[in-house]
Amino acid sequence: MPHHRYLLVLGALFGLVFVALGIAPSHRADWALENVLVVLFVALVAATHKRFTFSRISYTLIFVFLCLHEIGSHYTYSEVPYDQWFEALTGRTFNSLVGWERNNFDRVIHFCYGLLLAYPVREVFYRIASARGFWAYFLPLDITMSTSMIYELIEWAAAAMFGGELGMAYLGTQGDVWDAHKDMMLASFGALIAMLITYAINRALQRDFAAEWADSLRIKDARPLGEDEIARMWRERRGD
């Protein structure tokens, strides 16, 4: 299936998921707040898909993550009834099986943020910034960590701005003072796993892998920058 048609199919499927889970959510205001970034992101992907077409793998990973997010926004993350679903199928709760004491759906989604979106981020760095070797694996991990931090700051700002029940529902800490730190750690860990898998595949299949890795760590410009480069540009500007 051509990439653009594949994107159209996934877009239509996600539209159905979005509408279905947007019907009678547990907390309408929280659902709307949770989906502001989703709408902006989907609009960006749709607007740029002709100029920058992702691989089918990347589109699929993005689609899965957005669907998981929609489940969380429908119930609010701290109230997703996965335990009840699991108990209905197996006769026991999932939390009792793994030893969890809280609703950890939000933690799972933060982990999936890194696991599922690090590869599409790598594709952007590889194809636009020409990141190669070490940097093609480190930069997606770094972006995942930094955007996780930014999102936690957005959550804090939104909770402080709206306050009350809406603020607490959006923040979803469930009384854990280290919630933001754990969320960032899990997203970073997910991205690390994604990049290690990508690294292993490329190392096994890419013929020039070792040469590319070594070249990515080679110093390309031995000249010091900083004040020396400022002085050079100043001389050029003055025509010296």
Predicted confidence at residue 178, as pLDDT, reads: 73
Q: Tens digit of pLDDT for each residue in 106-152?
A: 999 999 999 999 999 999 999 999 999 999 999 999 999 999 999 88
Single pTM value for the model? 0.88
Both tokens of 167, joined, read 């603020």
Q: Tens digit of pLDDT for each residue in 186-235?
A: 999 999 999 999 999 999 999 999 999 999 999 988 888 888 888 888 88
The single-letter DSSP state of residue 208 is T
Nearest in space to 72 (alpha carbons), one of 98, 34, 20? 34
Give the Å distances, CA to CA, from 56 to 4, 46, 126, 148, 157.
Answer: 9, 14, 16, 24, 35
Grade residue 237 by pLDDT with cuts at 50, 70 and 90: confident
Span 59-68, average pLDDT: 97
CA–CA distance, 148 with 189 (Å, rounded to integer): 12
Write out the E strands in 40-184. none
- Domain of 178 in residue numbering reads as 3-238
Q: Tens digit of pLDDT for each residue in 152-164?
A: 888 778 777 766 6
Structural domain total, the chain: 1
